Structure 1
């Protein structure tokens, strides 16, 4: 019996769950426009542990969202996860934020493309098949009318980019699952447990979040 604490703070959603052998048994989360992660995260950790009827000493590992995403959000989540792992002498598991987001789409075929906002028309994206196998690695890219045109089967988009992407991504095989906006710690449970069983962990001392890039610099236009 393995209890894993899952922490997801890469976006506006501050999300924490407890999983037992890969099944979520307690979760607390809030998507706050004001990014209240610093105030909410440790409270949520205490609450889900109590709700699961366990203590921190029962934890087998801590899993944390590794990014890409908000610089501040990722730092807060990773710092909390490292602190617990150091104190309890348990392993740290890093989970791809975009895979967590993609896993929330319940589809049996086609491609799943999770996208997170990276300012202006830029997004962080990754491409998965319906079995959550990576078909194209993470990129920071500017969305235009030609983006993802190489995919002819149904493409399901998830994430917080629907508002700015839908007017541009208009192909008939593109479907926006707008109800799936942010990654959730609930969706981390199976992923983190699979990693735990394979001893796929990271070095607690040296692990850093995967920021991909902090911001995009756009050079000023030259005067004619």
Structure 2
């Protein structure tokens, strides 16, 4: 039995969900920039109130671990760690790109042959994205990387596979990749805490938990602060 609070703040989506034994009970989310710190704890309180569940009823806290927005990840992980410390609950980390792939695979309307690959993309800077490749069973085909996208990106894979690109980094890649007949783009994907459900439930069952005191998000790249406008 597992009752897990799930937190997703790695992208523009600020999302929380409650899942019991791998089934989502309820969720609350908004897709907007620079709002995560303002609403995350409010959303968690509302979610628990709506479901009649208390903080002490929770069995674990799961958080989207990155890569993604530096600030968003700090907010999500800090919130998750604070709850784990206060409630003495275990912390579960789920890589963001893996969760995004699960979100597509588990969509009831998703149909694809076994040669199709999934490419979640998270916006980084300019033409750079955080990305990886997965098959339709959720197996990783290409490791997570920070890539600068050009017309030759994924060329070897696109020769033999249809690739579905999705996520908030995919839109800016259309101009250089959409001419390839094997490149498809999903325009209606929004990241969500509900996509953590499968991996979080499995990690809870296997007892795969993070060290709350020392856990840090998966930034992939060092944070680079921009100059403040005068």
Whether TM-score is above 0.5 comes out as: yes
User: Partner residue of 1:54?
Assistant: 53
Q: Give matches, 1:35-184, under 5 Å.
A: 35-105=34-104, 106-108=110-112, 109=114, 110-151=116-157, 152-169=160-177, 170-180=179-189, 182-184=190-192
| TM-score with structure 1 setting the length | 0.92
Say which SS state the counterpart of residue 48 (structure 1) adopts: helix
Tell me, yes or no, if structure 1 residue 25 matches structure 2 residue 34: no
Question: CA 1:43 to 1:216, structure 2 compared with 1: closer, same or farther past 3 Å?
Answer: closer
User: 2:70–2:223: 8 Å Cα contact kept in structure 1?
Assistant: no
Q: Is the 8 A contact 2:2 2:204 kept in 1?
A: no
The alignment's TM-score, normalised by the length of structure 2, stands at 0.90
Structure ranking higher in helix proportion = 2
5+ residue gaps, structure 2, are: 105-109, 226-230
> Number of residue pairs matched?
215
Distance 2:15 2:36 in 1: 9
Distance in 2 (alpha carbons) for counterparts of 1:32 and 1:56: 26
TM-align CA RMSD? 1.4
Secondary structure of the residue aligned to 1:38 is helix
Q: Which runs of 5+ in 1 are unaligned?
A: 218-224
SS at match of 1:51: helix
Contact 2:3 2:60 in 1 (8 A): yes
Which residue in the other structure is 1:204 paired with?
A: 212
